[in-house]
Structure 1
Amino acid sequence: MKKQIARFIALPTTAFALAACGQSGDNGNAPTELVISTWGFAEDFFQEEIYAPFEEEHNVNIVVDIGNNAERLNRIRQGTATIDVIYLSDYYAQQGIEEGLFAELDRNNIPNIDELYDLAKAPLGEAYGPAFTVGQFGIAYNPNEVDAPIASWADLWNETLNNNITIPNITATTGPMFLDAASTVSGEESFDEDAAFAQLQELKGNIVKEYDRTSDFVNMFSQGEIAAGPFMEMYLNDLLAAVPETEFVTPSEGAYAVLNTVNVVEGSENQELAEAFINWHLSQEAQEASAKAKIDSPVNATVELTEEEAEGITYGEQTIESLHLLNMEYVNAESSKWIDRWNREIAN
């Protein structure tokens, strides 16, 4: 898993389609409809800062298809939705690639890929979509509710945290990451499944329950049911709003990269237009706007932020290039076995 496993994000929402306002081009032709499948958070921001400028420049009417990763990928599998561009966590995007659901990209139409950090350029292979944002999976904790500061993955095994933490379920995007972290804590230099599960067995006394959604973590944390747990930094503002003293830690053994990708769906009649849209979303202008609004952490290396603007997001070459990147192809191949073993040995 270090260089051998994988890495998710999704804000589950009710699936529905939202038509954005179309813009007429100077040539008087009706705008082309471009259907974008995404999660449905920060809709006002995306409409104003990402969709509207592209609509105006390209005479496009953007239609948004909304849902969580699994819902939206299933709509493509089942042929119940006509989608041009799809945003997915790398975990789900890898499934789409293996099932032949995405078109191979012409990277000549997406020159802004060259401006991205290396880990974002081709996380699932050169033929498929880049990452448009990156987050880190580390640890969040309440310093007022623990006996000592938390600085490492190993600290979660401290007996003073008995019945006081949560961990992600193995079926969550970050589940395989924490499985890899457990292997590291066991002392293995490369991923060892048996060592990881044995290490998690030792952690069970500290676990209140597992969480499937970030909102579950936030609720338990804000209500004092837990004091700490593995957490994605991109949702730190939700924790800070509930518990202002919250600390987020990049563990000494290293945090994990959480990548969200963007792809063109196989069979799209608007592939060049879709690639132009991806290129726009990767531009310095669009990436900087997302970062300053605290919507997405930038993967365009030319984005420059002040210390205040960078607070609460994953930013900077040193931080981003230090993140562990798991092999999603390996994770998908092993996931069924891990889920079965997790349910037998770890699940509460």
Structure 2
Amino acid sequence: MKRRDFLKVTAAAAAFPVIAAPAVHAQQKRFAGITLRCNGYGGTYDKALIDGVAKPLEEKTGLKVEYFAASVPGEVAKLISNKGNPHLDLFMVDNNLMPELIGADVLDPIKVSDVPNVKRVLPGYREFEDYGVPISVSSMVPMYNSNTITPPLTGYVDIGRTDLKGKIAIPGTSIAASALVLLAFAEAKGGSVHNMEPAFKFLKEVKDNIVATPNSTVAQLQMFSQGEAQAGIFWDGRGHELRTSGIPMQTVVPKEGIYAVSTYVNLVKGGRNREAALAYVEQALSDEGQLALPKIFRFGATTDVPLGELKPEILLNSPERVAMKRKVDWAALMKQRGELSERMNKVLRG
């Protein structure tokens, strides 16, 4: 080969990797071309998950995730009725509805061998053996306006104080967490999930204090914002939202323990790509995924992720606080939800 021809071949060979590099890079993304479907909660919540879970996952693996905001109970009914032909690959749901989904056999288990980050989930946070993984936790706790209420509240049953007549708002029966509030009252007064009578006795005693039982989180938020209620039982993340808007609603670490709701992400049985779905779960439990919701809402994380500067503003922010989270028998509680709602309404209207 002549020297001139050799130089031409060498130059072409040197240029080839530059041209081919993007194609090679694309081939290294193992889930390129795959899109998973997941229900969403809408608005800022979904955006936080997109930024902390979906986008980083797509950058690393090529996997795309589509979120569909919809009513969770409606999506539960759809999954059960379409068993074997699911419209979703991943499903987010609070722990109160997990027993129904497990009983309907529409979820696939997730083992530590499938998702190594499951080992990082905090003690007591994973409540349903190998089904689902908790990705965030919201606490339903007492709070009060420090400008108008003294002394501070210290626990759930403090809403019965005589100085709080006409000042209390608690979730209405259309909100699933109202059953959790009743359980907090029952256990504080010596009852249990199998003996809720103390809760209704307590409600009857304090009903003059309860100015309203809003049937939406937004409605209760507005009541506190506008001063129609000065204390009550509400979500810890919403307390942070009120404080940042200038309303001095103080969140209480209740002496009885913390009653909380965890959001789980699940693999739907029959979903289109199990390996891709497992990669999503792994990312949701990574430090980046775990901090996505706390950064916006100050919800609690469910792993040992360092909270950094967010720590003072998150209720479940230490091993001691985590140990205060009460264990709930969700199957037993939700089985009687209809009866609990009916009795709650009857007591408060009687």
Same fold (TM over 0.5): yes
| Alpha-carbon displacement from aligned partner over 1:152-173 (angstroms, at most 9, x marks no partner) | 2222101211111111124423
Identity of aligned residues (%): 22
Is residue 164 of structure 2 the alignment partner of residue 161 of structure 1? yes
Structure 1 position 268, deviation (Å): 0.8
Structure 1 position 296, deviation (Å): 4.0
Kept in 1, the 8 Å contact 2:191–2:197? The answer is no
Question: Pairwise mapping of residues 191-202 of structure 1 onto structure 2 (< 5 A)?
Answer: 192-202=195-205
Q: Which residue of 2 aligns with 1:50?
A: 53
Superposition RMSD in Å: 2.4
Q: Which residue of 2 aligns with 1:116?
A: 121
**Distance in 2 between residues matched to 1:88 and 1:112, nearest whole Å:** 20
SS in 2 for 1:200: helix
| Alpha-carbon displacement from aligned partner over 1:141-195 (angstroms, at most 9, x marks no partner) | 1022224221122221012111111111244232122112222343447763222
Question: Pairwise mapping of residues 232-243 of structure 1 onto structure 2 (< 5 A)?
Answer: 232-243=235-246
Structure 2 vs 1, CA of residues 166 and 73 (structure 1 numbering), >3 Å: closer, same or farther?
same
Is residue 15 of structure 2 the alignment partner of residue 26 of structure 1? no
Q: Which residue of 2 aligns with 1:100?
A: 105
Q: Which residue of 2 aligns with 1:312?
A: 313
Q: Which residue of 2 aligns with 1:134?
A: 137
Q: Which amino acid aligns with 1:256?
A: Y
SS in 2 for 1:263: strand
SS in 2 for 1:26: helix
Question: Pairwise mapping of residues 175-190 of structure 1 onto structure 2 (< 5 A)?
Answer: 175-188=178-191
**Distance in 1 between residues matched to 2:251 and 2:120, nearest whole Å:** 28
| Alpha-carbon displacement from aligned partner over 1:283-335 (angstroms, at most 9, x marks no partner) | 1232245434546421111x2233x3213223222111211121111112222
**Distance in 2 between residues matched to 1:191 and 1:163, nearest whole Å:** 30
Q: Which residue of 2 aligns with 1:12?
A: none
Is residue 227 of structure 2 the alignment partner of residue 224 of structure 1? yes
Structure 1 position 87, deviation (Å): 0.9
Structure 2 vs 1, CA of residues 190 and 128 (structure 1 numbering), >3 Å: closer, same or farther?
closer
Give me the TM-score of the superposition, normalised by structure 1: 0.84
Q: Which residue of 1 aligns with 2:88?
A: 83
**Distance in 1 between residues matched to 2:109 and 2:193, nearest whole Å:** 32
**Distance in 1 between residues matched to 2:50 and 2:198, nearest whole Å:** 47
Kept in 2, the 8 Å contact 1:38–1:88? The answer is no
Deviates more, 1:331-340 or 1:186-195: 186-195
Is residue 315 of structure 2 the alignment partner of residue 280 of structure 1? no
**Distance in 2 between residues matched to 1:208 and 1:168, nearest whole Å:** 11
Kept in 1, the 8 Å contact 2:122–2:303? The answer is yes
Structure 1 position 200, deviation (Å): 0.8
Structure 2 vs 1, CA of residues 100 and 51 (structure 1 numbering), >3 Å: closer, same or farther?
same
Deviates more, 1:70-79 or 1:46-55: 70-79
Larger radius of gyration: 2
**Distance in 1 between residues matched to 2:334 and 2:73, nearest whole Å:** 14
**Distance in 2 between residues matched to 1:292 and 1:200, nearest whole Å:** 36
Q: Which amino acid aligns with 1:110?
A: V
Structure 2 vs 1, CA of residues 289 and 215 (structure 1 numbering), >3 Å: closer, same or farther?
closer
Structure 1 position 84, deviation (Å): 0.6
Kept in 2, the 8 Å contact 1:183–1:191? The answer is no
**Distance in 1 between residues matched to 2:51 and 2:192, nearest whole Å:** 47
Q: Which residue of 2 aligns with 1:10?
A: none
SS in 2 for 1:86: strand
2:66 aligned residue (48, 51, 63): 63
**Distance in 1 between residues matched to 2:146 and 2:130, nearest whole Å:** 45
Deviates more, 1:334-343 or 1:188-197: 188-197
Give me the TM-score of the superposition, normalised by structure 2: 0.83
Q: Which residue of 2 aligns with 1:4?
A: none
Is residue 159 of structure 2 the alignment partner of residue 148 of structure 1? no
Deviates more, 1:74-83 or 1:145-154: 74-83
Structure 2: unaligned runs, 5 residues or longer: 1-24
SS in 2 for 1:117: coil
Q: Which residue of 2 aligns with 1:327?
A: 329
| Alpha-carbon displacement from aligned partner over 1:76-135 (angstroms, at most 9, x marks no partner) | 234396101111111122222222222223431111111110122x31x22301211122
2:37 aligned residue (32, 35, 38): 35
Structure 2 vs 1, CA of residues 212 and 311 (structure 1 numbering), >3 Å: closer, same or farther?
farther
Structure 1 runs, 4 residues or longer, greater than 3 Å off? 27-30, 77-81, 187-191, 241-244, 288-296
**Distance in 2 between residues matched to 1:168 and 1:347, nearest whole Å:** 15
Structure 2 vs 1, CA of residues 189 and 81 (structure 1 numbering), >3 Å: closer, same or farther?
closer
SS in 1 for 2:153: coil
SS in 1 for 2:234: strand
Structure 1 position 207, deviation (Å): 0.9
Kept in 2, the 8 Å contact 1:150–1:249? The answer is yes
Kept in 2, the 8 Å contact 1:141–1:248? The answer is yes
Q: Which amino acid aligns with 1:310?
A: K
